[in-house]
C-alpha cells in the first residue's frame, strides 16, 4: 500500500500516466467513458507561491483511488491525471492543452486559481471540454451564457465579501477599514464585493494595499496599513501571504478586528505557521465542516473522512481543512458522473453538473446544499460566519445566502 501511494503521489505531482495510445485517440474523436476508464484531468500548483494548495490535488487523487477500490463508476475506473502549473497562467495553458490533446481527458476537474483558470477558459470553451468545479470563487465562473463549459466550485468571492461588509456595518458602523489584496482578478473580485456590501459606507476604507504573487514578503504593506489607524482589517490573500500578514500585524502590535477570506482558513497550513495565538479572533466564513472543530468529533461524516485519511492519504494533515475541501469536491464530481449515467460524454457531464438539486454532501455544513441549473453555475451559495478561538474555528450566527 505504501509503495502504491508513493508512486501515485509522484504521478500526480509530475503528471505521469501519459501513455494515451494514438489508436485510442483516433478511435474517439471526443473522449467518452465508453471503455473501462474515465480520464479526469486536474491542474494544481504543486510548486510556486500557492503550493499550500497542493494537498487538494493529492487528497482528490486519494479519493478516486478509494472510488476505484470500491468498484469505480458503473464498472469503470477513474484515471486521475494531475499536473503542476506552479500557479503560472502560461504554464496552465500548456498543461490544459496537454491534458485535452495528449491525455484525452473527459474533463478538467477543480483546476486551481483565478489567474490560471482565466488563462485556460477560452481554450476549454472553444474545445467544448468541461472546466468543472473551478477552485476559485471568482464571479466570472458563473457565466453560462458566454462560457457554458466552465462552472465554479465554491462560493462567489463577491458574495463572501458582501457578508463581511454587512457584518462590519452591524458590529462597527464607524469602522476605519484597511484592506490587503492580491493584485489580480481574485483579489479584485473580493474587494469589489466588499465595497458593494459597504455601499455608501465604502468611505470607511481608509487604506488599501496590494501585493504580487512573486513578492518575497508583504511586510511593507502591513506596516503601511497599520499606519492608517484602521481598526478593522480585511485580509484577501492566499495561504502563504495570509500567514505572513497575520503574523506581521501581531508583531507590530496592530490588533484590529480581522476578517480573513475563506481560501486561507486552514489551521494546518495558515494559522499554525502564522501562530495560533496571533490568530485569535479572526473572522471568516465556512460552508463545510472543520476537522479541528470538536462539535464534529462524533459526526459520522468526519469520522468517515478521518478513516479515509488514515487509509488513503496518511501523509496528509488531518487538521488541514483543504483536505476536507478536496474530498468534498471529489464527492461532488462522483455524484455528477453517476448522475450522467452510461452516457459519459462531455456534453452529458455538463448537463448533469448543471442539474444538481438540493444535494446535501456529508461534509458540507448542515443547511448548505448544492444546487445548480443551466443558468446558475455556482454549486455553493450558502455560508456561515466563524471565529477562531486560538484552537479551532467556532461557528456563529445563521447560515446566510441561498
Q: Domain containing 282: what range?
A: 157-286
Distance CA 179, CA 187 (A): 10
Based on the domain organization, do 85 and 131 belong to the same domain? yes
Residue 304 and residue 236 share a domain: no
Q: Are residues 196 and 327 in the same domain?
A: no
One domain, residues 8 and 134: yes
What's the rounded Cα separation, in Å, for the pair 118 and 396? 34
**Count of other CB atoms within 10 angstroms of residue 178:** 28
CA distance 333 to 353: 8
Same domain, 108 and 26: yes
Partners of 235 in the beta sheet? 180, 260
CATH of the domain at 225: 3.40.50.2300
Predicted confidence at residue 36, as pLDDT, reads: 85
Residue with cell 481560501: 263
Domain-ending residue, one of 223, 258, 286: 286
pLDDT computed for residue 9 by the predictor:
42
Q: If you write DSSP's letter for every residue of 129-175 in order, what string do you get?
A: --EEEEB---GGG--TTT-TTEEE-S--HHHHHHHHHHHHHHH-TT-
Q: Could you tell me if residue 203 is inside a domain?
A: yes
Which position has the grid cell 467556532?
A: 394
Among 320, 260, 263, CA closest to 292 = 320
3-state SS class at 76: strand
Q: Are residues 6 and 149 in the same domain?
A: yes
In a domain, 234, yes or no: yes
Q: Are residues 21 and 143 in the same domain?
A: yes
Domain assignment present for 229:
yes
Last residue of a domain, one of 286, 315, 346: 286
Indicate whether 391 belongs to any domain.
no
Note whether residue 282 is domain-resident: yes
Please indicate, yes or no, if residue 53 is contained in any of the structural domains.
yes
| Residue 161 near residue 197 (C-beta atoms within 8 A) | yes
Cβ atoms of 211 and 218 closer than 8 Å: yes
Question: Structurally, how many domains does the chain consist of?
Answer: 2
**Cα(331)–Cα(317) distance, integer angstroms:** 19
**228 and 360, same structural domain?**
no
Per-residue pLDDT of the chain (402 residues; tens, 9 = 90+): 443 344 344 444 444 333 333 333 334 457 655 578 999 999 999 999 999 999 999 999 999 999 999 999 988 999 999 999 999 999 999 999 999 999 999 999 999 999 999 999 999 999 999 999 999 999 999 999 999 999 999 999 999 999 999 999 999 999 999 999 999 989 999 999 999 999 999 999 999 999 999 999 999 999 999 999 999 999 999 999 999 999 999 999 999 999 999 999 999 889 999 999 999 999 999 999 999 888 999 999 999 999 999 999 999 999 999 999 999 999 999 999 999 998 899 999 999 999 999 999 999 999 999 999 999 999 999 999 999 999 999 999 999 876
Q: Note whether 44 and 138 are same-domain residues.
A: yes
Does residue 389 fall inside a structural domain? no
C-alpha cell at 340: 450522467
251 and 337 belong to one structural domain: no
pLDDT at 74: 86
Structural domain ending residue among the three candidates 225, 259, 286: 286
Please indicate, yes or no, if residue 62 is contained in any of the structural domains: yes
143 and 161 share a domain?
A: no
188 shares its domain with 75: no
Amino acid at each position: 500500500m505504501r509503495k502504491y501511494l508513493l508512486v501515485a503521489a509522484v504521478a500526480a505531482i509530475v503528471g505521469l500516466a501519459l501513455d494515451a495510445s494514438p489508436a485510442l485517440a483516433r478511435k474517439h474523436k471526443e473522449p467518452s467513458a465508453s471503455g473501462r476508464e474515465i480520464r479526469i484531468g486536474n491542474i494544481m500548483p504543486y510548486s510556486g507561491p500557492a503550493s499550500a494548495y497542493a494537498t487538494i490535488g493529492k487528497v482528490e487523487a486519494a479519493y478516486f483511488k478509494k472510488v476505484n477500490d470500491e468498484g469505480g463508476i458503473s464498472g469503470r475506473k477513474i484515471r486521475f491525471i494531475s499536473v503542476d502549473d506552479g500557479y503560472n497562467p502560461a504554464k496552465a495553458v500548456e498543461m490544459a492543452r496537454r491534458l485535452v490533446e495528449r491525455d484525452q481527458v473527459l474533463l478538467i476537474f477543480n483546476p486551481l486559481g483565478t489567474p490560471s483558470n482565466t488563462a485556460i477558459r477560452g481554450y476549454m470553451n472553444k474545445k467544448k471540454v468541461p472546466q468543472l468545479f473551478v477552485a476559485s470563487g471568482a464571479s466570472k465562473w458563473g457565466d453560462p451564457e458566454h462560457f457554458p463549459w466552465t462552472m465554479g466550485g465554491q462560493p462567489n468571492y463577491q458574495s463572501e465579501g458582501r457578508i463581511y461588509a454587512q457584518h462590519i456595518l452591524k458590529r462597527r458602523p464607524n469602522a476605519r477599514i484597511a484592506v490587503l489584496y492580491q493584485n489580480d482578478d481574485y483579489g479584485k473580485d473580493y474587494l469589489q464585493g466588499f465595497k458593494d456590501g459597504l455601499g455608501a459606507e465604502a468611505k470607511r476604507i481608509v487604506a488599501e494595499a496590494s501585493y504580487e504573487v512573486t513578492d518575497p514578503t508583504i511586510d511593507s504593506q502591513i506596516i503601511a496599513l497599520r499606519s492608517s489607524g484602521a481598526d478593522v482589517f480585511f485580509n484577501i490573500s492566499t495561504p502563504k501571504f495570509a500567514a505572513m500578514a497575520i503574523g506581521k500585524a501581531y508583531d507590530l502590535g496592530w490588533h484590529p478586528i480581522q476578517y480573513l477570506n475563506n481560501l486561507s482558513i486552514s489551521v494546518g497550513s495558515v494559522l499554525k505557521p502564522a501562530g495560533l495565538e496571533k490568530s485569535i479572533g479572526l473572522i471568516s466564513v465556512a460552508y463545510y465542516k472543520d476537522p479541528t472543530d470538536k462539535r464534529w468529533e462524533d459526526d459520522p461524516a468526519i469520522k468517515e473522512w478521518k478513516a479515509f485519511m488514515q487509509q488513503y492519504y496518511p501523509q496528509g494533515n488531518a487538521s488541514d481543512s483543504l483536505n476536507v475541501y478536496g474530498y468534498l469536491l471529489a464527492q461532488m464530481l462522483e455524484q455528477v458522473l453517476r448522475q450522467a449515467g452510461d452516457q459519459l460524454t462531455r456534453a452529458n457531464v455538463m448537463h448533469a453538473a448543471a442539474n444538481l438539486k438540493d444535494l446535501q454532501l456529508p461534509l458540507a455544513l448542515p443547511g448548505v446544499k448544492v444546487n445548480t441549473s443551466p443558468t446558475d453555475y455556482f454549486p455553493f451559495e450558502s455560508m456561515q460566519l466563524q471565529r477562531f478561538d486560538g484552537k479551532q474555528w467556532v461557528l456563529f450566527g445563521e447560515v446566510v445566502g441561498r
